Amino acid sequence: MIGIETFIKSLEGRPVIVLGLGLSGLSVLRAILRTGAQAVAWDDNPEKRAEAERLGVPVRNPALIDLSGYGALIAGPGIPLHGFSAHPGISGARRVGIQVLGDLEILHRTEHGRKTIGITGTNGKSTTTALTGHILNACGLRACVGGNIGKPVLDLTMPPKDGIFVLEISSFQADLCPAFHPDIAALLNITPDHIDRHGNMENYVAAKARLFEGAGVAVIGMDDEFSARIFRDVRTRGQRRAFPVSVREPLTEGVYVEDGILYDGIDAKPHAVGSLGVTSLQGLHNHQNAATAYAICRLAGVEPISIMEAMKTYPGLVHRQQIVRVINGVPYINDSKATNADATGKALSCFRNIYWIVGGRPKEGGLNGLESFMDRIRHAFLIGEAAESFADWLDNHGVAHNFSSTLDRAIEEAHQAAQDARGQPGGAGVVLLSPACASYDQFKSFEHRGEAFITKVQNLGMNG
């Protein structure tokens, strides 16, 4: 548990209101209670409010009370902050000049003195964060991993003085960090996502770019124009040393991957340091993750050979191209974390003869951008709110599909189809859950969706 006494002292006795009682909001409440400070809480969901009451915290709607005497409003990352969709509690706090913060900002304001690595990007940030933590720990540096992955930051154990926080940071979290800027800030990529939250693409890009303000080091992917623009801006400001990463073309500096070989040009002319073919990090997207993690760890002081050896033992992430089971030669892959088309494209590029389970609550753009992968699809099984619009898209691209509606039924239908097709031209297929959608129409989270997939697949019979 992280002690936040320094932050609480800075509020000069004023109480705190916590808005949004998901995992991070409840962790903030517990941290405040450990200091003995006063807090009130609110969530629009009455079940969540009951959790605060069980902790002994008064429940008050911030839209209906005078906030002028409060020291801060701590918002959960899912609380809308912008425009007409902003939560009334956020608008009320801003009207009276109350600071609106997140748990990452509180961690920063504890003045903990540990080096902090922050990793963001539209896709790949969970893998890169977990991989970075794995490498650092394997090489003898005490790294504590959290943020948008694993435990909320205030539930983490404080690393030793020479230890490192390795934090996955979403755009939602970055929006709540006015002063927190990591010592090493890394950006993988930016593609359209969360536009409903940020209002437009420029606001989304700005949320990512905010992490690169202030002093320190920057590691930035160069393979999309939005990220390349941030790299140029960081270089122009001159506050941070900035190192580029690419998996699309050779660079004269930084880190790049070509033909599966990783090249290091951080402090000398680029030279090959090893192959990524001996790791679990297959596919161009994982090469980007590996190159970014390599650059971060080099800049944290780890030797190249040690990084490459540690990569070989990285096991991969749950819900990200996770092989759940192989039945009669057919792999069943859980890629529930693919919540947009770009992430799903990464999985589709790795397989052929795919029995594809897709759908949920659609993101802006739907399946656009996946056209080049449709020759890999044997059959699609549509679930959730996106089913009808995705069916029209698949019709336009000549892909056969079922309206499966629920995940359970989609798994049963995909399983039967894949098993029936064994021995036919094209070889064994793969059953792939890669939804290209948010999960909230039928599930609590992408983790909940992935666990449902795992449970169902583990209970399937061996015969088609």
The pLDDT value recorded for residue 122 is 87
Cα 312 to Cα 129, 289, 324, 330, 404, distances in angstroms: 16, 14, 21, 25, 39
Tens digit of each residue's pLDDT (9 = 90 or more) over 139-193: 999 999 999 888 899 999 999 999 999 999 988 898 899 999 999 999 999 987 6
The pLDDT value recorded for residue 340 is 92
Residue 40, in any domain of the structure: yes
With 60 as the cut, is the pLDDT of residue 195 above it? no
Contacts of 94 (CB under 8 A, 6+ apart): 100
On whether the CB atoms of residues 186 and 219 are closer than 8 A, the answer is yes
What's the number of CA atoms in the CB half-sphere (13 Å) around residue 248? 9
Last residue of a domain, one of 265, 287, 311: 311
Task: Please check whether residues 182 and 155 belong to one and the same domain.
Answer: yes
289: helix, strand or coil: helix
Q: What is the mean pLDDT of the chain?
A: 93
Neighbours of 193 (CB within 10 A): 22
User: Which CATH number covers residue 263?
Assistant: 3.40.1190.10
Residue 316, in any domain of the structure: no
Last residue of a domain, one of 288, 311, 334: 311
pTM value?
A: 0.77
Task: Please check whether residues 247 and 117 belong to one and the same domain.
Answer: yes
Separation CA 301–CA 249 (nearest Å): 26
Residue 372's pLDDT band (boundaries 50, 70, 90)?
very high
The pLDDT value recorded for residue 193 is 60
Residue 410, in any domain of the structure: yes
Task: Please check whether residues 71 and 123 belong to one and the same domain.
Answer: no
Q: Is the model more confident about 326 or about 282?
A: 326
Residue 463, in any domain of the structure: no
Task: Please check whether residues 232 and 145 belong to one and the same domain.
Answer: yes
Residue 338, in any domain of the structure: yes
Tens digit of each residue's pLDDT (9 = 90 or more) over 297-321: 999 999 999 999 999 999 877 888 8
Residue 256, in any domain of the structure: yes
User: Which CATH number covers residue 86?
Assistant: 3.40.50.720
Task: Please check whether residues 100 and 117 belong to one and the same domain.
Answer: no
Task: Please check whether residues 218 and 292 belong to one and the same domain.
Answer: yes
Q: Which of 288, 297, 257 has its CA nearest to residue 273?
A: 257
Tens digit of each residue's pLDDT (9 = 90 or more) over 58-89: 999 999 999 999 999 999 988 988 777 889 99
Q: Which of 103, 77, 105 has its CA nearest to residue 90?
A: 77
Q: Which two tokens stand for residue 54?
A: 């069980």
Last residue of a domain, one of 104, 121, 151: 104
Task: Please check whether residues 175 and 214 belong to one and the same domain.
Answer: yes
Tens digit of each residue's pLDDT (9 = 90 or more) over 212-227: 998 899 999 999 999 9
Residue 426's pLDDT band (boundaries 50, 70, 90)?
low
Task: Please check whether residues 336 and 452 belong to one and the same domain.
Answer: yes
Burial of 56 (0-12, 13-18, 19+ CB in 10 A): exposed
The pLDDT value recorded for residue 177 is 92
Domain count, the chain: 3
User: Which CATH number covers residue 398?
Assistant: 3.90.190.20
Residue 285, in any domain of the structure: yes
**Tokens 């002093």 belong to which residue?**
215
Residue 317, in any domain of the structure: no
Task: Please check whether residues 99 and 118 belong to one and the same domain.
Answer: no
- Of the candidate ranges 119-128, 263-272, 361-370, 419-428, the one whose mean pLDDT is the lowest: 419-428
Task: Please check whether residues 135 and 233 belong to one and the same domain.
Answer: yes
Task: Please check whether residues 283 and 329 belong to one and the same domain.
Answer: no
Domain enclosing residue 410, as ranges: 322-458
Residue 199's pLDDT band (boundaries 50, 70, 90)?
low
Task: Please check whether residues 27 and 91 belong to one and the same domain.
Answer: yes
